[in-house]
Structure 1
Amino acid sequence: MISPRYRPCVLATCCIPWNERFEFEEVIFRRSVRLQIASGIRDLYIFGTAGEGYAVTETQFDAVTRVFLDETRIDGVQAMIGLISQSLPMVIERIERARDMGARRFQLSLPSWGVLNDAELKTFFRETCGRFPDCEFLHYNLMRTGRIVTGAEYGLLAGEYENLVATKNSTADEARLTSLMTASPQLQHFITEAGFAKAALMGECGFLISFTSTNFVRASEYFRAGCEQDAAKLAAIARDFDGLIAAFKEAVGSTAHMDGAFDKLFCRVHDPKFPLRLLPPYEGVSDERFDRYLALLRQNLPHWLP
């Protein structure tokens, strides 16, 4: 058995709150990070798709990163900085600046202006993982980039870069999960709700929390059931997932389509003052639609509220 390079855990995003002038709401953000840590979540990241990593300016990137690292400078907490950009030089510069602030874990996404070919994929990892050997890297494997990295490709990359430690995959496709778990077992693969139950029965994996973040206690129970390969308990908890998904989809309708719009709903469940707006031009969810979402949870799935 090969032990993955990153610990098995619940991995969670920290959304960024913006005020009416689209300025960073530091106090609300700090409160949100502290809540997750107090709820037992010890592996946190900023600037994924839900964290609007694709939209922030360099000034915003630095300001949020500095506060995030300050709040996560706690024993047992591992902080990760997301990197989403069309520009590899910009990714490198962000790593350098965050590294100067003390960051050592980063989440990579491939550039998406043009789909990377095999040679370009190798260059991307050489100029990130290879350039910064004292840092650890997770790769966010998402279709928005136009290319899904296979388990076999990860196996080759992991053989070349020991500081490539993990991946994020939002999939429940069994063939893809099998490829990840068998062809690149040295990496910790973080899987979202539906796929996690399948992957956990194949071996050790991490849980990438999404819509179950409305209740960190129940989400952690789901993760523990996976660690114990308790198929019955996984199935029992997962029976609620269709209803949880239906609730936010019904409430939001066609008014928002970015990941952050949904994740900020989950943040507001915990903190009524958490703003729902996204950086323009993208639309967040209205207060009225959040109220509808909360009412649906209270009516149909109250045990998934905090």
Structure 2
Amino acid sequence: MTAKKRHAIASNWATLLLPIGVNDDIEFAKLGEEIDLLIAAGVDGIYSNGTAGEFHSQTEDEFDRIQSMLAERCAAASMNFVIGACQPDARIMLERVRRSALLKPLAIQVILPDWWPVTDREAIDFLNQAVDVGSGIPLILYNPPHAKRVLTPEELGRVCAAAPGVIGAKVADGDKQWYADARQHLSELSLFVPGHHLATGIMEGIAAGSFSNVACLSPRGAQMWTASMQDDIHAALALERRICKFMETHIVPYRQRLGYSNAALDKLLCAIGNWGPVGTRLRWPYRSIDMSEAERLRDVARTELSELFA
């Protein structure tokens, strides 16, 4: 028997990326244009302030302005949105949760406090406090591979069992054993796996969707690919294998060999897709991948992953 999910949130979610100007400022006019383009692409939802949204590099005034812009435009278009209230400092994060709840998102995403790894008890205390502060808005726990403490499926299930306001988690997946453990311990949660592994997650019967790096490359293409998984999972898996090969060959080396951040890689994908006014620039002190690299890879992407750009 399949366990009932705590919440039906699912499918293909596009991340909001910050257009950064030459003076290191957020270009809000371009940000508004980006939101409108994502809405027009017909994605299942838009989320803010993951790693790719550079949540760690915003003032609180900037945070509020970004979330208000997202909420206003999405509400006008009846587009689902999730606000990332992430911040390494737990007290600042709780204040972001409180202010985010006023904007009525479908959910609020948080990380675990991130300077020193938390214990289970500390994680549970923090998550339950965030639920209380969030006035009943459900929470999604963002637990990526670069978190100070990456929870196993068993650990995540144990923590979330004691924090019922957490309805989902954005996680890195793993091998067959990871999926078996996830089915055993995480069946109540909406799990969001890496975008380029979504077909595998759907086939394994555990993924609800993705907060998607593939949507960074092509929001429309990621949406069409996600929809295709309901009709022909084997064709979707074949495309996934080519997406993964493209990532491993052309994108991951920027991190593994040259030391660029994951946010830099996601902005590179967006610039390769060339669908919006984001660019590759990150906020100081993080290094940005030169736009010429995106221009070099555009034809490669359209040749190797033509379905995403149909």
Mapped partners of 2:117, 2:282: distance in 1: 26
Indicate yes or no: 2:270 matched with 1:267: yes
Q: 2:80 aligns with which of 78, 82, 99?
A: 78
Which residue in the other structure is 2:250 paired with? 247
Task: Please say which of residues 241-250 and 25-34 is displaced more in the overlay.
Answer: 241-250
1:6 CA drift (Å): 2.7
Distance 1:235 1:271, change over 3 A: closer
Distance change (3 Å), C-alpha of 1:138 and 1:251? closer
CA pair 91-180 structure 1, distance change in 2 beyond 3 A = same
Quote how far apart the aligned CAs of 1:252 are.
7.9
Picking from 278, 281, 289, the partner of 1:277 is 281
Gaps in structure 1 of 5+ consecutive residues: none
Q: Is 1:278–1:284's contact at 8 Å kept on the other side of the alignment?
A: yes
More displaced 10-residue stretch of structure 1: 3-12 or 20-29: 3-12
Tell me how large the CA RMSD over aligned residues is: 2.5
Task: Tell me the CA shift for residue 168 of structure 1.
Answer: 0.6
Gaps of 5+ in 2: none
How big is the shift at 1:119? 1.9
1: CA distance, partners of 2:54 / 2:162: 30
Q: Provide Cα deviations, 1:162-202, integer angstroms capped at 9, x if missing partner.
A: 43111111223222232223312121101114543332123
Q: Are 2:190 and 1:209 aligned?
A: no
> What is the rounded CA distance, in whole Å, between the counterparts of 2:154 and 2:125 in structure 1?
17
> For residues 252 and 297 of structure 1, do their structure 2 counterparts lie closer, same or farther at Cα, with a shift above 3 Å needed?
farther
Indicate conservation of the 8 Å contact 1:141/1:167, yes or no.
yes
* 4+ residue runs over 6 A deviation: none
Match of 2:202 among 200, 203, 227: 200
How far off is 1:251 after superposition? Answer: 7.2
Any idea what the Cα deviations from partners look like across 1:84-111, whole Å, max 9, x if unmatched? 3221111111112223344462111112
Distance, in Å, in 1 between the alignment partners of 2:197 and 2:278 is 29
- Post-superposition shift, 1:112? 2.1
Equivalent pairs, count: 305
Which is worse superposed, 174-183 or 40-49? Answer: 174-183
User: How many angstroms does 1:210 deviate by?
Assistant: 0.9
In the other structure, the counterpart of 1:113 is: 115
- Structure 2 residue 186 is the aligned partner of structure 1 residue 184: yes
Post-superposition shift, 1:126?
1.9
Provide TM-score, normalisation by structure 2.
0.87
TM-score, normalization: structure 1? 0.88
- Following superposition, the deviation at residue 292 of structure 1 comes to 1.5
Counterpart amino acid of residue 207 in structure 1: S
Contact map agreement 1:154 1:184 (CA 8 A) in 2:
yes
What pairs with 1:222-261 in structure 2 (closer than 5 Å)?
A: 222-227=225-230, 230-245=232-247, 246-249=249-252, 254-255=257-258, 257-261=260-264
Distance verdict in 2 for CA 1:275–1:196, change over 3 Å: closer
2:27 is matched with which residue? 25
Give the match's secondary structure for 1:73. helix
Q: Aligned AA for 1:202? A: E
Q: Secondary structure at the match of 2:141?
A: strand
Paired-residue identity, %: 19
* Whole-angstrom CA distance in 2 between matches of 1:248 and 1:282: 17
Structure-1 separation of matches of 2:172 and 2:189: 16
Would the aligned equivalents of 2:123 and 2:159 in 1 still touch at CA under 8 Å? Answer: no
Matched, 1:46 2:48: yes
